[in-house]
């Protein structure tokens, strides 16, 4: 109970980004582990698809073989490269263009449906 009662709906509505998408104005990069037991895939999908629907800049990458945090070196390298591209696109600066890591198999759910 360090931050409050997470089983109380009013508390979750107050702190969860899921209920505050309209207040997001900066581009957002979401990297999610498909096996994450703390943040369910449905929650990550929800925020990403709501942002896209409202034309808020968002990129959403799911690594199906990861959990909460990336542990596989191939995925860490792949995601770091994508972060560099994202930051360059939105903040400017140089970027080293690299090929996707051959042992990483990210999915891009926003590219499949609206």
Q: What is the pLDDT of residues 27-43, one digit of tens each?
A: 999 999 999 998 899 99
* Residue 113 scores a pLDDT above 60: no
DSSP 51-68: HHHTT--EEEEEETT-BS
State the Cα–Cα distance between residues 19 and 114, nearest whole angstrom: 19
Give the model confidence (pLDDT) of 47-88 as tens digits. Answer: 999 999 999 999 999 999 999 999 999 999 999 999 999 999
Looking at the chain, the whole-number percentage of residues with pLDDT higher than 90 is 62
State the Cα–Cα distance between residues 84 and 4, nearest whole angstrom: 35
State both tokens at 97: 């263009």
Please tell me the predicted confidence (pLDDT) of residue 1: 53
State the Cα–Cα distance between residues 34 and 67, nearest whole angstrom: 6
Please tell me the predicted confidence (pLDDT) of residue 66: 96
* Residue 89 scores a pLDDT above 70: yes
State the Cα–Cα distance between residues 25 and 22, nearest whole angstrom: 8
Question: What is the pTM assigned to this prediction?
Answer: 0.83
State both tokens at 87: 């930051």
């Amino acid at each position: 109970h360090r931050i409050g009662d997470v089983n109380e709906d009013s508390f979750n509505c107050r702190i969860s980004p899921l209920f505050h998408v309209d207040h997001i104005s900066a581009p957002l990069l979401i990297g999610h582990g498909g096996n994450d037991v703390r943040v369910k895939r449905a929650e990550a999908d929800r925020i990403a698809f709501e942002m896209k629907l409202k034309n808020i800049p968002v990129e959403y990458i799911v690594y199906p073989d990861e959990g909460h945090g990336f542990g596989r070196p191939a995925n860490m390298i792949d995601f770091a490269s994508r972060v560099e591209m994202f930051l360059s696109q939105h903040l400017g600066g140089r970027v080293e263009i690299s090929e996707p890591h051959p042992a990483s198999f990210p999915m891009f759910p926003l590219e499949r449906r609206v």
